[in-house]
Amino acid sequence: MSLVRWMTRATSTQAGAAVTQLLVEPQEWRELAQDVAAAGGRLLALWGTNRVGQCDTLHAVTVAPPRVLAVTIPLDADGGYPGVEDVFPSASRMQRAVFDLCGVRSTGQDTRPWLRHAAWPEDAFPLVANPMPAPPQSPLDDYAFVRVEGDGVHEIAVGPVHAGIIEPGHFRFSVVGEKVLRLEERLGYVHKGIERRFTELPILDGHRLAARVSGDSAVAYAWSYCQALERMAGTVLPPRAAWLRALALELERIANHLGDLGALGNDAGFAVGLAQFSRLKEHLLRATEQALGQRYLLDFVVPGGTRNDFAPAGATVLDEYLVQLTDEVTALRGIYEEHTGLRDRFAGAGTVLPELAAWIGLVGLAGRASGQLLDLRVDAACAPYAELNLRRCTRQDGDVLARVTLRFDELSESVRIVRRILRALPSGNHSIAVTVPLAGAVGVGLIEAWRGPVVVGLEAGPDGSILRCHPQDPSWHNWPALEHAIIGNIVPDFPLINKSFNLSYSGHDL
């Protein structure tokens, strides 16, 4: 079977993008998923939509370069659909989330709730119910963790409130001595009802909420949302707007990589690394503020372009700082590489080999550190990436060291891209007016955030409202990989391994 035969059934292609829309029956969904997997592809997103007072349609986005498929699966009245968790392991939690929010069940065996804890009753579905019923009496629920039994096995329960300045989640370790036999994650603590909230906002305002799905990836989410909206509205983005967005996206990548490189040094006992990299990050944020008006670019990307243009003097400040940053990072990279203590902690810790990474469907930065090539900036490049000649960075070892090294590689590449944009920024407007899309218009946005591919599925309701907006974070695919990465490692290495993935809780929990 091949993916090509499905292409003959494509219903339409989004203008200006490599996204093909495809309508399939529920019973065909597994076959299509298998063909995508056989072509080395990934399931990037899965969500349900309610148009008639119940969830009547399932949507999926898959990518098998060079093809991105936006799949629509109309559901029968009984709402069931075949699960694909054996084809794409990350689908299991996505299918459970679809049930928690929309009330349609896959044939997947794991029917435990995923995003629902005790905030709403199990027979109410937040994307269908109107109004939502009152929360259940008990604010606590029981979750059926998988028990590991045997001589000397015990459990360590960590979270939701963690011992650092990090997001909440729960980790259940089954250990013998200090060796981890099994880790089971439980997420959903920061579920804020983002998808229902979207339906209360005007479609031209939704980018503000999108930017706050995961604040560390604000540019990527806002861009992905705006990309979907602009495709629906037929907006032709001025070239300068696209270039400014790419500038912002790469600055977001550099800032996060700097933060992570410092934190990874610190987690391996090298506090100097944290002091140095956090200093560099602070100066980058200040240069960003001078150039674009904000330290963190939460509302920089708006429908039709960017909120503001470059401050002319800011370009010089930013460019000069990036030259200095390059020198400083090169020096620090040398220190990290020659520090035997760091090497000892980084090498061989939390390994996900390429074969396992391919099976799990690891994406983004962690995927590329485990030999998985996918980078939407190359494989589904939107303007201006096709013109930027981005170098794809990959590593094969799949351990903490590979994820550290890949951050150094990508950081240099992003600095190069930003400096190139600063020199070659096209003239013209930084934004254009966007018309309100017609009710029923659908669009998909895909942007490679620093962590991995961010997908936003958008459907317009009547009078400029949002019928449905589904943001999907790359963390959905990589959280399950962390459970594999920790097996056989010791508990004290978990913070380091976890940090090397640095996955989003908020982006996942929605």
Partner 1 sequence: MLRTLQQILKTGIVTEVPPAPAEELRVREALQSRIREVLGRALCIRAVDAGSCNGCELEIHALGNPIYSIESLGIRFVASPRHADLLLVTGPVSRHMEVALRRTYDATPDPKLVVAVGDCGACGGVFGDGYASCGAVSNVIAVDVVVPGCPPSPARVLAGILAAISPSPDESTRGSGQ
| Closest approach of partner 1 to the CB of residue 271, in Å | 10
**CB closer to partner 1, 78 vs 338:** 338
| Closest approach of partner 1 to the CB of residue 39, in Å | 34
**CB closer to partner 1, 150 vs 164:** 164
Pair 198, 206: CB distance under 8 Å: yes
| Closest approach of partner 1 to the CB of residue 487, in Å | 26
Dist. CA 266–CA 269, nearest whole Å: 5
Q: Which strands form 466-472's sheet, in the order they lie side by side?
A: 442-448, 453-460, 466-472
| Closest approach of partner 1 to the CB of residue 394, in Å | 27
What contacts 1, CB < 8 A, 6 or more positions away? 31, 34, 35, 38
CA triple 330-333-339, angle to 5 deg? 145
Dist. CA 329–CA 333, nearest whole Å: 6
Beta strands in 51-169 (DSSP E): 55-64, 67-74, 153-158
Pair 449, 217: CB distance under 8 Å: yes
| Closest approach of partner 1 to the CB of residue 141, in Å | 9
Torsion angles phi and psi, residue 129, rounded to 5: -65, 140
| Closest approach of partner 1 to the CB of residue 131, in Å | 9
**CB closer to partner 1, 190 vs 436:** 190
Is residue 340 classed as helix, strand or coil in its secondary structure? helix
| Closest approach of partner 1 to the CB of residue 282, in Å | 5
3-state helix, strand, coil in the chain (%, to 5): 45, 15, 40
Reading the block at residue 438, the tokens are 């017609």
Tokens 């880790």, located at residue: 183
Q: Which residue type occupies 28?
A: E
Say how many CA atoms lie within 13 Å of 388 toward its Cβ.
29
Is residue 175 classed as helix, strand or coil in its secondary structure? strand
* H-state helical runs in 3-64: 4-7, 26-38
- For strands 19-23 and 67-74, give the pairing: parallel
What contacts 207, CB < 8 A, 6 or more positions away? 222, 225, 226, 229, 299, 301, 302, 303
| Closest approach of partner 1 to the CB of residue 318, in Å | 18
Q: What residue ranges bind partner 1 (CB under 8 A)?
A: 117-120, 126, 132, 135, 139-140, 160-161, 163-168, 188-194, 196-197, 208-209, 212-216, 218, 259, 272, 274-276, 278-279, 281-282, 285, 295-296, 298, 331-332, 334-335, 338-339, 504-506, 509
| Closest approach of partner 1 to the CB of residue 186, in Å | 11
Q: List, as one string, the DSSP characters of 470-483.
A: EEE-THHHHHHHHH
**CB closer to partner 1, 147 vs 286:** 286
| Closest approach of partner 1 to the CB of residue 63, in Å | 25
